[in-house]
Structure 1
Amino acid sequence: MILIIYAHPYPQHSHANKRMLDQASTLDSVEIRSLYQRYPDFNIDIAAEQAALSRADLIVWQHPMQWYSMPPLLKLWIDKVLSHGWAYGHEGTALRGKELLWAVTTGGSNHHFDIGAYPGFDVLAQPLQATALYCGLQWLEPFVMHDTFVSADETLEAGAQRFKQRLVDWQERQDG
C-alpha cells in the first residue's frame, strides 16, 4: 500500500500538488492523508497516523517547498508521529523495511537552490533523508517538480503524470 502524507497549507492555491494527488488517486492501494484538512488546529491524532503508517509499504511525504524546508504541520507531524520507541530507538522498529519517497514541488527553478556554502537542491533533502534512515526507512530518489508557479498547465500535467509513473513503477517492482 502507498500512503501519501500530504502537507499543503493552501491547497486551494496549489498548481502542481493537486494534479499530483489527482493522478495518484487513480491507482489501486493508495491512501492520501491531507494533514491540513485533517488537522487544521494542528492537533494530530498520533495513534491514527501511526496506524496508517503501519499499513503502508511505501510512504510519500508530499508538500510544496517553503523557505527551503517543509510546511510547519508536516514538521510537527514528524516530531509527534515518529516517536521514540515506535519509529526509532531500541524498540522503535515499526517503520523498518518500508520505503520513503519525498515528493516536493518548488516555485522556482533548480538554479534557485545554488546558493550558500553548499549549493544545490540535494542538500535540502538531507534532514528528511537522515530522519528516514534513522527510522529504518529506505530512502528513495526524491521526486521534484520545479517552476510550478510559472509552468503552463500542460507542463504541470506532464509532471503529475511523471509522479504517477514513479508510483506505478514502484507498484510493479513490488508485484514482480
Structure 2
Amino acid sequence: MKTLVIVTHPSIDTSIINKRWVTELKKYPEKYTVHELHKVYPDGNIDVDQEQKLVESHGNLVLQFPIYWFNCPPLLKKWLDDVFAYGWAYGSNGGNKLMNRKAALAVSAGISQKDYSEEGRYRYTLEHLLSPFETTFLYCNANYRSFFAFYGTEEAPGTENEQFTGELEKSSQDYLNFVDNL
C-alpha cells in the first residue's frame, strides 16, 4: 500500500526543505500520497471523517513538518487532536485504526544539530522534543519508526550555495530512502 505523507507547513511556497521534499515525493505518485493540510484546510476546519478514511486507505503514515517553537505547527496538532479520536485511533470501543501501522516523522529543524543536544544551547535533543509524537503513536498501538531530520536551515547560506544545494539534494534522496524503508 502507498504511504500517506501529511505535510503541515504554514508557508510551503517559501519553504526550502519541506518544499523540496514535497517536490521529490510527488515524482512518485504510485508510492506516496502527499496531503498538504494548509492547502486542503486553509480555514483550519478539518473534515475528520475524510481524514480518517484517507489514513485507513494507506499503509504507512508520515507526518512532515518544520519544527515550530520546538513542536509542530498548530494545524498539525489540531489534526492529531481531531483525527486520532477515541473509538477510531484508541480506546475500548474499536479504536484500532492505527494498530501496527508504520508511522514516522520528517522534520526540518532551523537550529543546528549541536544546539539540539544535552550540551547544546537548548539542552534537549530533537529525539527528546519529538517524544510526545512517539508516545502518541505508541498509545494508539502504531509501529513508530522514528524520525528523519534536516538540521540548521536557520543559519544556512542561500540556495545559490553549491554546498547547501548538494546537502538539500542528498537530504531529498535520503528522505525517500527513509520512507521506503519504514
TM-score, normalisation: structure 1: 0.91
Counterpart secondary structure, 2:176: helix
Q: Distance in 2 between matches of 1:39 and 1:111?
A: 35
1:164 Cα offset (Å): 1.1
Q: Distance in 2 between matches of 1:4 and 1:50?
A: 14
Aligned to 1:9: 10
Q: Please give the per-residue CA displacement for 1:38-70, whole angstroms capped at 9, x wherever unaligned.
A: 111100010110001001111000000011000
1:29 Cα offset (Å): 2.7
TM-score, normalisation: structure 2: 0.88
Aligned to 1:109: 112
Aligned ranges 1:39-50 → 2 under 5 Å = 39-50=41-52
Q: Please state if 1:143 is matched with 2:145.
A: no
| Overall identity of the aligned pairs, in % | 30
Q: Is there any run of 5+ residues in structure 2 with no aligned partner, and where?
A: 158-163
Q: Label 1:16 to 1:116 Cα distance change in 2 as closer, same or farther (>3 A).
A: closer
1:167 Cα offset (Å): 2.3
AA of the residue aligned to 1:87 = A
- Report the count of equivalent residues: 170
Aligned ranges 1:1-176 → 2 under 5 Å = 1-27=2-28, 28-90=30-92, 91-114=94-117, 119-149=124-154, 150=156, 152-170=164-182
1:161 Cα offset (Å): 1.1
1:136 Cα offset (Å): 1.2
AA of the residue aligned to 1:84 = Y
Q: Do 2:116 and 2:122's aligned partners in 1 also have CA atoms closer than 8 Å?
A: no
Q: Distance in 2 between matches of 1:142 and 1:81?
A: 21
Counterpart secondary structure, 1:4: strand
Q: Do 2:115 and 2:122's aligned partners in 1 also have CA atoms closer than 8 Å?
A: no
More relative contact order, 1 or 2 (CA 8 Å, 6+ apart): 1
Structure richer in helix, relative to its length? 1
